[in-house]
């Protein structure tokens, strides 16, 4: 019964996206629709063109990330963006050496889902909320990117490779502050055609409790 009520609320909320027609509400309505549409249509992109993300676009994506909430507004993150081909190729070679099966993937060009631009996100080892804060920053960045026609994909598998002894020179190139640890990498790029899937979402996992 509770689930049925919650689903009814969801349906009602979806209906409300179609805003009132009054001119006074049109601008607000349009912004609400744009935000909801970006969230609902965003997909993880796992294949990209070779063109690096325009640096002006990337600057805006980073700015949107930094506007994410964080515990007590401490903003504990450190973000480093890489679009240098030698860096991406070097880490790819190390990853392939550690896991040769990577090269067997269809269309494989690099370890970062073929992305030409990668953001590395780190936080202090001792931070009690840094991991969550970095997650909020990451989602802001990915949503901002999607709204600009830029695809993205969170890459947790990059972390152990970057932390390996072989990749130490590349980790050092990121110039992370002392005491910081790498949390995640995000691939960014312009999506190749048919590079996204539309997975089902299980709305029953969220509901009110009385």
- pLDDT tens across 115-163, in order? 999 999 999 999 999 999 999 999 999 999 999 999 999 999 999 999 9
Closest CA to 177 of 79, 94, 32, 110: 79
pLDDT at 44: 94
How large a percentage of the chain has pLDDT more than 70?
A: 86
Q: Are 61 and 144 in contact (CB under 8 A)?
A: yes
pLDDT band for position 114 (cuts 50, 70, 90): very high
Which residues are paired to 146 by β-bridges? Answer: none
- How far apart (Å, rounded) are the C-alpha atoms in residues 1 and 164? 51
Residue 164 DSSP class:
S
C-alpha triplet 50, 52, 55: angle, nearest 5°: 170
Asked whether residue 20 carries a pLDDT value surpassing 90, the answer given is no
- How far apart (Å, rounded) are the C-alpha atoms in residues 46 and 196? 7
Residue with more model confidence, 124 or 193: 124
- How far apart (Å, rounded) are the C-alpha atoms in residues 47 and 153? 10
In the chain, the DSSP E strands lie at: 78-82, 117-124, 151-155, 180-189
pLDDT tens for each residue of 162-172: 999 999 999 99
pLDDT at 23: 55
For the chain, which domains are there?
2-41 (no CATH), 55-189 (3.40.109.10)
pLDDT tens for each residue of 89-98: 999 999 999 9
- How far apart (Å, rounded) are the C-alpha atoms in residues 9 and 15? 10
Q: Are 110 and 46 in contact (CB under 8 A)?
A: no
**Which pTM was predicted?**
0.84
- The three-class DSSP label of residue 4 is helix
């Amino acid at each position: 019964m509770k689930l049925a009520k919650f689903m009814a609320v969801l349906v009602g909320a979806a209906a409300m996206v179609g805003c009132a027609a009054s001119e006074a509400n049109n601008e607000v309505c349009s912004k609400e629709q744009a935000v909801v549409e970006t969230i609902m249509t965003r997909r993880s992109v796992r294949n990209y063109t070779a063109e690096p993300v325009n640096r002006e676009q990337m600057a805006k994506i980073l700015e949107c990330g930094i506007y994410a909430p964080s515990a007590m507004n401490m903003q504990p993150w450190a973000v480093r963006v890489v679009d240098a081909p030698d860096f991406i190729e070097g880490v790819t070679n190390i990853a392939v050496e550690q896991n040769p099966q990577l090269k067997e993937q269809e269309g494989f060009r690099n370890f970062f889902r073929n992305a030409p631009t990668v953001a590395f996100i780190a936080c202090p080892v001792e931070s009690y909320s840094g991991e969550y804060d970095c997650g909020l920053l990451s989602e802001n960045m990915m949503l901002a990117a999607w709204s600009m026609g830029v695809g993205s994909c969170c890459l947790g598998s990059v972390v152990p490779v970057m932390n390996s002894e072989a990749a130490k020179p590349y980790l050092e190139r990121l110039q992370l502050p002392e005491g910081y640890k790498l949390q995640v990498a995000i691939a960014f790029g312009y999506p190749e055609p048919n590079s996204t899937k539309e997975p089902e979402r299980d709305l029953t996992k969220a509901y009110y409790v009385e």
